[in-house]
A and B are shown apart, each in its own frame.
Chain A
């Protein structure tokens, strides 16, 4: 491989000048002028109730109110994998915050005032909040019509229950394997709902023109999926619905799929010709958009005397909240990846998504993996301890390796997890007992490993277009979104590399606009560098081929002998060279200007995985469950203050196998930010009272990590084992970086104080009380 010019280089982000000068535009920043109206949602105060009557007459009387819409106006449902969510609740509310009506007014204040005057008569029903309670035969049923909902072919709801998805994995013979085990660990682990907490709350502005054309401006990871789902649910022809999505102020999965955007469009229909802005308050963002699902995990795992894993039996019960239109696929992902990053010959796995009367569970950074790794990675430590093996050695021995047949029957693609383990172990001086900084503190080290596959339908596509300007600068058109992860920068680097032009010649066409941007399924699943990257590379190669054929004809040479370097076409044979400037738009003249050849160069490219197979619904077995896995390891060195229970993290070291780092420093920024996100999530929980009413939907009561809370040192290592079908071998990294942080911290705390915590969140108080209990 020749030297790289752009790929693998730490070039500056394409979006950074705008972002440090305040000129970067986000969804709330666009000015709509005097015609702008504001929307406000009327939300249910009950966790579970029947709607008897809605009276909007008082709200409509408020001066400045333009419309009030309810479920009567919009009878449809919406959903990606399971179409279970009404646009507005019409007959039943299923969580505190379930929207029952939308008020449109000339100001936010008037809309808010009028929303309080919408009178809704409810008949309260028994509610259920714990997934284990919700699966009992006598539990209140949230979706009696589950059997009639439209569902993706690979999702398996159980009508007549609260189970919206049941994924089964069966491999080998677990029952007879237990008797061969020298040690077995069996534990229950739990974690609560938490929220993504992007600093930008959800914002959507919609206008429904009298012509029937609809435009939606939205902070979104999924402009194309929103077009598709909203068009279907509201009966808008796809070509009439245009979704424009400027920079996203933090997504983390919360802005994937459709959440509040459909309400903005629905309200806009009632006031045709006027844009309607719907902006979530911070309180609504916490409990009225989407959250990460809760989980109860039963984990049983055993190994022989040499430390070889022999059997695993797991049951995962995800508390999916009121609607599981996206969450069902999280339970499925947790099902096919249920072993974690280990080779285990005998596996019985059951993963359930369960309706509960709580906020809507959906995608969040890691998509089920942080949830299941919380228990798995503690259980592995416990098992290693039982047979007297070092946790690092135990993981090196059992972790998944290239070419192994993993639990679904798929052959493991290229990864080097052992290299990741070794790097983080070294970074924290694994095996070396180091003293605490004070006599009242105890120091400990812990380690955890992870895997995650992009969890998506088998055939999500990406496309890209590469166009030239007269001076040979390049516009790259993509449909992938810039959430902060660096998608635009990676697109520009890949285009520059594949075309042979300098990086700073490349512009990324933004904002993403479904009317002008080429199709992209969604900016989720850590799939963009890989999938969009392949599409951009293909588009650039298509453009390059056109240029080389043109110049080859001009020079009467073979295109095979030509190349583009640093913005010039060169011939390895004749050593001629020609600048791209001009020719990429105007073409080239024939001899003596007897006519011209060529013309504006437009390259097009696409990528779609074609090889993912279905899985047997009874065993979860199939040739290829997923496109690939990304793997990694984290090690934590920390101190616990025995007087307060406070945890102080000295160092988090992370290593991930990204295949090929297109921009190594941007990979490190993901690794560092993810480590802190993961640390913060260890101490986070949404809390509810016994009626399901949220108790802490504010920054004061739901704390996220501040600058003062971060580890003293955050260390990152990059491993590069090329992925077979990634651009130059690249695979994604955005989500993996927080998957195993919580169990790594828990393992380090155990190492420090000898206490295990099976339930998140952790807190200083909880740790302090546990230490005291242990002493007694």
Chain B
């Protein structure tokens, strides 16, 4: 089992890590760094609960190897709020009660964040399309979609 030394910026902090070849980015975040916002829902890139930003793009962190992020930048749900100041998206999720069990929420917020960054004024259809890879069993999605719309109206992610 080969080990690799990598340097990766996670939520603005530079981290120097030793990771085995087969370790996923999700495992690295959760087990090496104790960053547990990204969740493991399927280990197969199908549920979106582990979504993080990799150089600004949303990825399923269970489908990325830790060695691949050497020299790159990762942002998880923990990296959205700065000094306790919630983002407009996080505020909108609270305002609309878009959260129930909360297990899909970290991935939802990241996918929505990425959407609003590339498309600040998405249509309802575009929001649904952007979130189609993030499964939620509690909310019926309707509040989540409304929350993204509200955040967009208030000027982006």
Contacts and interface: CB of A to CB of B under 8 A. Distances in A.
A546 to B, nearest CB: 35
Given A199-B39, A669-B139, A700-B46, A21 B99 contact: no
A673 B139 contact: yes
Contact of A199 (B41, B140, B145): B41
Contact of B46 (A23, A200, A250, A699): A699
Given A700-B46, A707-B128, A484 B138 contact: yes
B106 A250 contact: no
Nearest to A489: B97
A23 B78 contact: yes
B22 to A, nearest CB: 8
B11 to A, nearest CB: 10
A247 B76 CA distance: 20
A21 B39 contact: no
Interface-centre pick from A19, A200, A250 (highest chain B CB count, 10 A): A19
Contacts of B80: 21
Interface in B118-143: 127-129, 131-143
Contacts of A251: 101
Interface string A197-241: 111110000000000000000000000000000000000000000
Given A20-B86, A281-B43, A484-B102, A707 B141 contact: yes
Contact of B94 (A12, A25, A200, A485): A12
B143 A669 contact: yes
Interface residues of A, number: 56
Interface in A480-517: 483-486
A21 B136 contact: no
Contacts of B41: 199-201, 282
Nearest to B27: A108
Interface of B: 22, 30, 34-44, 46-47, 49, 76-78, 80-81, 86, 90, 93-94, 97, 99-106, 109, 127-129, 131-145
Interface of A: 12-13, 15-26, 28-29, 31, 109, 196-201, 247-252, 279, 281-282, 483-486, 665-666, 669, 672-677, 698-700, 704-708, 710, 714
B138 A673 contact: yes
Nearest to A250: B101
A700 B46 CA distance: 7
Contacts of B76: 22
A676 B42 contact: no
A105 to B, nearest CB: 14
A197 B138 CA distance: 10
11 contacts: A16-B94, A20-B93, A21-B90, A29-B30, A199-B41, A250-B137, A483-B101, A673-B140, A676-B139, A704-B135, A710-B141
A20 B109 contact: yes
A699 B39 CA distance: 16
Contact of A248 (B101, B136, B142): B101
Contacts of A674: 140
Nearest to B49: A199
Contacts of B99: 13, 15-16, 19-20, 484
A249 B102 contact: yes
A201 B144 CA distance: 22
Contacts of B104: 199
B101 A707 contact: no
A109 B22 CA distance: 10
Given A23-B78, A704-B135, A673 B100 contact: yes
A677 B46 contact: no
Contacts of A279: 40
B100 to A, nearest CB: 3
B103 A250 contact: yes
Interface-centre pick from B30, B46, B101, B128 (highest chain A CB count, 10 A): B101
B18 to A, nearest CB: 14
B140 A19 contact: no
B141 A20 contact: no
A223 to B, nearest CB: 16
Given A26-B103, A249-B102, A249-B103, A706 B135 contact: yes
Contacts of A698: 42, 44, 46
User: B interface, by DSSP: helix, strand, loop or mixed?
Assistant: loop
Given A676-B140, A707-B128, A710-B142, 11 more contacts: A16-B94, A16-B99, A18-B102, A196-B137, A197-B137, A282-B43, A485-B100, A674-B140, A707-B132, A707-B136, A707-B145
A675 B139 CA distance: 9
B101 A676 contact: no
A676 B137 CA distance: 9
A710 B141 CA distance: 8
A484 B103 CA distance: 9
Contacts of B46: 282, 698-700
Nearest to A713: B142
B131 A707 contact: yes
Contacts of B90: 20-21
Cβ-closest 7 pairs across A and B: A22-B37, A249-B103, A484-B101, A676-B140, A484-B100, A19-B102, A22-B77
Nearest to A36: B31
B124 to A, nearest CB: 10
B68 to A, nearest CB: 19
Contacts of A196: 137
A282 B42 contact: yes
B135 to A, nearest CB: 6
B142 A714 contact: yes
A547 B78 CA distance: 42
A699 B94 contact: no
A360 B141 CA distance: 29
A85 B43 CA distance: 29
B145 to A, nearest CB: 7
B101 A672 contact: no
A636 to B, nearest CB: 14
B103 A20 contact: no
A198 B103 contact: yes
A436 B16 CA distance: 60
B94 to A, nearest CB: 5
Contacts of A700: 46
Contacts of A666: 97
A250 B137 CA distance: 7
Contact of B141 (A24, A281, A676): A676
Contacts of B86: 17, 20-21
Nearest to B35: A22
Contacts of B37: 21-23
Contact of B105 (A19, A252, A483, A699): A19
Interface-centre pick from A109, A198, A199, A706 (highest chain B CB count, 10 A): A199
Nearest to B77: A22
Interface-centre pick from B77, B106, B135, B145 (highest chain A CB count, 10 A): B135
Contact of A15 (B102, B132, B135): B102
A708 B132 contact: yes
Contacts of B132: 706-708
B41 to A, nearest CB: 5
A21 B140 contact: no
B125 to A, nearest CB: 8
Contacts of B127: 707
Contacts of B42: 282, 698-699
A53 to B, nearest CB: 33
A710 B125 CA distance: 11
Nearest to B100: A484
A672 B142 contact: yes
A15 B99 CA distance: 9
A204 to B, nearest CB: 15
Contact of B78 (A22, A248, A249, A672): A22
Contacts of A714: 140, 142
A13 B97 contact: yes
A721 to B, nearest CB: 24
A306 B101 CA distance: 47
Interface-centre pick from A21, A252, A673 (highest chain B CB count, 10 A): A21
A450 to B, nearest CB: 18
Contact of B101 (A247, A665, A706): A247
